[in-house]
Amino acid sequence: MYRTETLVSRNASVALAVILLLWVALSNTTASPVMRAWPVSGDDDTMAVAAGFEGCYATGDSFKDAVEIRDIETNLRRTITRDEMVALAPWLGLSGGQDGISGLAFSDSCRLLFILVHDSTLPQTATESDVVLRYNTWNNTLQVFAQLDLFDRDDIWPYLAAVHHAGRLYVGTTANGIAVYQASANDVAGALLGMQELPRRGAVRGLTIDRDGNPQYLYAATATTLFRTPLGELPLVFTEVGELDAVDIQGITYTRHYGMRGQEGLYLVSTDQVWHVPEAQARNEQPFNPGLYATGVGRGDIAATPDGGLLLGAKEDAVLLHDDQDLRLGFWDFVADEFRQAVRFAKTLVSPDGEPSGWVIDANVPLGKHRYHPASPDAAAWAVLTFLMSDRIDQDPEAQSLVRTILLRYAGMANDAIVPERTPDGIYRHWYEPRSGRVKADWDAEWAVLSTAKLVLAAARAQRYYADDPLIQEASKRIIRGVRNWDAYLTEPPACQVYLKALEVGGPDLHSHSSPFNEAILFVEQAQQFGGSLQASACFEVWLDQSRWPKAEFIAGRPLIGDVPSVFLPAFPTLYAFLLQPEVRARRDWQKQIENLRVSSAAWTDDHGPRFSTVFSAGTTKFKWSPTGYHVDNLGAHPGNVAHFPALLGLAAQGDLGPAVAAYHAYRIGARQAFAPGPGGTPEILYRRSNQDPAYEPNSAGLPDVLYGTMALAALLNPNIIDKQLAVATRQYPPATSPAARLAARMP
């Protein structure tokens, strides 16, 4: 009996231990919020909003009647004051009480902020007492966008809501449902498109968008009930999602990337509580049964942030929630990792499949596929520049050896005597068969002037950086000095056209001329620095003079230069020049060109409601969208609405965190793509994703279409790196022979 009792006791103990272990394991994997204070100046910041893609955050104080806009680092960027509001709407008798700000809405890109302001005083010239203000973050302009009645009485605490999506602004009211306004890129005043009634009347406390749904959904909340409608043509048809009688909803938001898997969906804030409505419940795929997620957060508003948080306007301040089980990289860890993944991507293409050493294959393919592209000078150039960045930032022990091996190959100095063919003028082919140094069968046999210019530029940068490496010095010299007859590839000023192809016997192909503006500006700079003629110098000044070249406008007053009137260029020609040429970076008109490209891309994003912050540039695409499988996407021609993430990142080259936060958002919702591995592992990078077909994965990614975004990542990690190492005047390169000169060439 004793032995039996002992056995039972031991079994019970084991069972209890197992239960305790399971409880500990479950408690360690249970999602729970991590709360930190968000800086505010006011006392009652009940309104909170964040841009969908970029790192812009705003809080509104309805007692102080002020709005604060901050960035992802919590730096204060702008305060909009009561005096500014009253100056635009003088009838507003804002008292310092519960009148004033009653809702905020950012456009996804952060370009526009809409501010709901209410007051019971009627203006003399209208019957509507309240306004929606429109603040343009790029122009720093505040305007009255619309005039309406937000409240049917003035003694209610200001829990209203607004949301902007796909060129429309949805404004919640207390009595009339949801006012829908046209709010596209150039709309400074809102045209009322209609009033949308909810199935049951009540003040509209919350509005949010599920942009990842198919179709996309608008959610609306009263104090007790959630509603949903697919977005599309008006009128919208709302259905009830569920009712929460005892919750007193004060704000709602939708997120696909908060916390860990399973935490997608709606989040509701009530007095001192945050509730979670899982995505399946929000979409009426499961019974409605919200769960309590957090307590002790005060009362106010709630907004999903692009960096995976929830920003809440609490009773006396604001707080930012993250979940302790979120396994994704933090923002700055992502910036560093995306840079290193791009470096790995470049390394996988340096003789990856048994090719003779030093050849750089032009493109990689998705994980599980076989590489098929030839080698190219373009890929070699971008690989060299990337490895220089990696050496500077991470003291990469492989970088110098890789640069040396690549330059020796393309200079014709490799030990195996396989020499890349060049014309008598030193122009390289666009495509090479690595085992022969000749053109690869079934690929274009062109002699490529622009490919040559890129390789010359990369060799010059490597020559400067590795001033104490004699093989890099000699290989770079042979690549650079091997190019002759520069002026033959330029027509005389003021036309200054560039011939993009050469003839095998020497000289240009006269049928290949190209007018500014395009990436041929790289060749013109090299011609004036290494050719040294007055004609080349004059032509470089001509190419830099934007007043000479055709323009197109997406945003009124923000022209973009191109090569055909009213036709847009892809992003990369502008970004190439801005990343690599000091003359371009130093000029205000070229800085403005980058700004206009950034704002125009942001406005397209705001007007069309895509899943990703979208910049258009050239790259591989569906054959359905382009018969060649490659398309030069731009603001005017973009089949498939493909977001080009290297171009998005390239816009961060001036230290602007906004595009990097937008890329981080794309990473958080799973936009990275894995590519075929090399010795350093399997690279996973942001490349191209379609807003039209999110499941589509490009069948290859070329180094020239990927790595220029890497330069901007490097600039975020080391703010001096572009001006010290990439965009430097070639003519100033010293022959750095002394230890001090060698050290100076490699110091930030």
Can you give 169-206 as a three-state secondary structure string?
EEEECCCCCEEEEECCCCCCCCEEEEEECCCCCCCCCE
Handedness of CA 522, 525, 529, 530 (dihedral sign): positive
| Residue 46 pLDDT | 75
Percentage of the residues of the chain whose pLDDT score is greater than 90: 80
4, part of any domain:
no
Q: Residue 62 carries which DSSP code?
A: T
Residue 461 in contact with residue 384, Cβ under 8 Å? yes
The residue type at 178: I
Encoded tokens for 347? 């390394």
pLDDT band at 157 (very low <50, low <70, confident <90, very high): low
Place of tokens 């499988």: 629
Domain boundary among 323, 350, 380: 323
For residues 644 and 741, state if they share a domain: yes
| Mean pLDDT, residues 466-472 taken together | 96
Residue 656 in contact with residue 717, Cβ under 8 Å? no
For residues 319 and 351, state if they share a domain: no
Q: What CA–CA distances, in Å, run from 2 to 8, 11, 12, 13?
A: 10, 14, 15, 16
| Residue 556 pLDDT | 93
Encoded tokens for 424? 């008598």
Judged by average pLDDT, the poorest of 198-202, 232-236, 602-606, 730-734 is 730-734
For residues 250 and 335, state if they share a domain: no
For residues 382 and 317, state if they share a domain: no
Give the model confidence (pLDDT) of 685-701 as tens digits: 999 999 999 899 999 99
Of 432, 389, 390, the closest CA to residue 410 belongs to: 432
116, part of any domain:
yes
| Mean pLDDT, residues 293-313 taken together | 90
For residues 465 and 587, state if they share a domain: yes
Q: How far is 96 from 138, CA to CA, in rounded Å? A: 29
pLDDT band at 8 (very low <50, low <70, confident <90, very high): very low
For residues 199 and 117, state if they share a domain: yes
pLDDT above 50 (res 13): no
State which H helix or E strand residue 387 sits in: helix 377-394
The model scores a pTM over 0.75: yes
Q: CATH number of the domain that 191 lies in?
A: 2.130.10.10
| Mean pLDDT, residues 396-425 taken together | 97
Q: Residue 731 carries which DSSP code?
A: G
Q: CATH number of the domain that 353 lies in?
A: 1.50.10.140
6, part of any domain:
no
| Residue 451 pLDDT | 97
Please tell me whether residue 43 adopts helix, strand or coil conformation.
coil
Residues 6 or more apart whose Cβ sits within 8 Å of residue 684: 341, 672, 673, 674, 675
Judged by average pLDDT, the poorest of 153-162, 496-505, 618-627 is 153-162
Of 425, 341, 430, the closest CA to residue 377 belongs to: 430
pLDDT band at 637 (very low <50, low <70, confident <90, very high): very high
Domain boundary among 323, 353, 387: 323
The residue type at 293: Y
Give the model confidence (pLDDT) of 327-375 as tens digits: 999 999 999 999 999 999 999 999 999 999 999 999 999 999 999 999 9
| Mean pLDDT, residues 55-66 taken together | 91
Task: Give CA angle at 478 (476, 484), nearest 5°.
Answer: 120
The alpha-carbon radius of gyration of the chain (Å, integer) is 29
Of 151, 124, 139, the closest CA to residue 188 belongs to: 139
**Could you tell me the residue range of the domain that residue 232 belongs to?**
42-323
Higher per-residue pLDDT: 499 or 271: 499
Q: How far is 248 from 469, CA to CA, in rounded Å? A: 70
Cβ atoms within 10 A of the Cβ of 552, count? Answer: 18
For residues 581 and 683, state if they share a domain: yes
β-sheet bridge partners, residue 302: 312
19, part of any domain:
no
pLDDT band at 126 (very low <50, low <70, confident <90, very high): low
Give the model confidence (pLDDT) of 30-54 as tens digits: 678 999 999 998 666 678 999 999 9
For residues 351 and 316, state if they share a domain: no
The residue type at 645: F
Residue 108 in contact with residue 51, Cβ under 8 Å? yes
| Residue 12 pLDDT | 36
Give the model confidence (pLDDT) of 312-338 as tens digits: 987 677 899 999 999 999 999 999 999
For residues 260 and 375, state if they share a domain: no
17, part of any domain:
no
Residues 6 or more apart whose Cβ sits within 8 Å of residue 545: none
33, part of any domain:
no
| Residue 158 pLDDT | 58
16, part of any domain:
no
For residues 60 and 183, state if they share a domain: yes
pLDDT band at 14 (very low <50, low <70, confident <90, very high): very low
For residues 382 and 307, state if they share a domain: no
Q: How many domains does the chain have?
A: 2
pLDDT above 90 (res 23): no
Give the model confidence (pLDDT) of 567-589 as tens digits: 999 999 999 999 999 999 999 99
Q: How far is 478 from 460, CA to CA, in rounded Å? A: 11
Domain boundary among 323, 340, 367: 323
Residue 497 in contact with residue 514, Cβ under 8 Å? yes
Encoded tokens for 93? 């008798």
Average pLDDT, the chain: 90
Edge-to-edge order in the sheet of strand 239-243: 206-210, 217-221, 225-230, 239-243
693, part of any domain:
yes
Helix axes 377-394, 449-465, angle to 10 degrees: 20
Place of tokens 């399946």: 280
Give the model confidence (pLDDT) of 519-533 as tens digits: 999 999 999 999 988
For residues 279 and 239, state if they share a domain: yes
